[in-house]
Chains A and B, each alone.
Chain A
Amino acid sequence: MSEITINSYVILSTILFVIGALGVLLRRNAIIVFMSIEMMLNAANLLFVAFSRHLGNLDGQVLVFFVITVAAAEVAVGLALIVAIFRTKKSIDIDTLNLMKG
């Protein structure tokens, strides 16, 4: 057993980021894709906070505030788009977004 070092946080955040990225690439439900994106952003947030503590420098924590608020703005726009699409398609499967190809 060793002390919890910065490495543990980096590994955890990498795992979260990879889960998020795979979710975006593999899942077809728009809401789940969306949640996966949020997970990627939060993986980055975890990294910011961990590094901020590790380096004794507050910049990282300030950045987290910005990421959180920007993510909220993204959520608002994204959910509105999902609602708008659902109203005509009755589905939020992103594979049904296939009008344009080539």
Chain B
Amino acid sequence: MLDNWQFIAIFVLFAPLIPGAAIGANWLLSPKKPNRIKQETYECGVEAVGSSWIQFKVQYYIYALVFVVFDIEAVFLFPIAAAYGLLGAFAVVEIVLFVLILVAALAYTWGDGSLEWV
């Protein structure tokens, strides 16, 4: 019988192996015929112009920040969803209130013009 530490050792050994194997197999099997167009960052679509290390519009960050907050708030919805059958009407009221508060925040960001893409 293995003890927990041995499980961890096995995990540490095998965890890098699996993605490594996938990438390695890809590298071994794929044909290699490089040319200039294939080495572009994006092989199809609009050609990339200039460096990507430029200062982005601040709007971009605001978008990202708003996303982070709303994304994480969803964590409170999961427990409710998981235990929904047990909770009944009480939980519905609670979660609707919670979502309404989030909606108020969203409405504020909207009214503020932070969601306009410029």
Q: Which residues of A contact B (CB under 8 A)?
A: 1-4, 65, 68-69, 71-73, 75-76, 79-80, 83, 87
Contacts and interface: CB of A to CB of B under 8 A. Distances in A.
B19 interface: no
Given A1-B5, A4-B5, A87-B58, A76 B73 contact: no
Nearest 5 interchain pairs by C-beta: A72-B72, A4-B4, A76-B65, A76-B69, A83-B61
A69 B5 contact: no
Given A1-B3, A68-B72, 6 more contacts: A1-B5, A3-B3, A3-B4, A71-B72, A76-B66, A87-B58
B24 to A, nearest CB: 31
Interface of B: 3-6, 8, 58, 61-62, 65-66, 68-69, 71-73, 75-76, 79
A76 to B, nearest CB: 4
Nearest to B61: A83
Contacts of A3: 3-4
Tell me what chain B mostly uses at the interface: helix, strand, loop, or mixed. helix
Nearest to B78: A65
Given A68-B72, A69-B76, A2 B3 contact: yes
Contacts of B72: 68-69, 71-72
Given A1-B5, A3-B4, A4-B4, A69 B61 contact: no
Nearest to B8: A4
A87 B62 CA distance: 14
Contact of B68 (A2, A76, A87): A76
A71 B79 CA distance: 19
Given A65-B79, A80-B61, A83-B61, A72 B6 contact: no
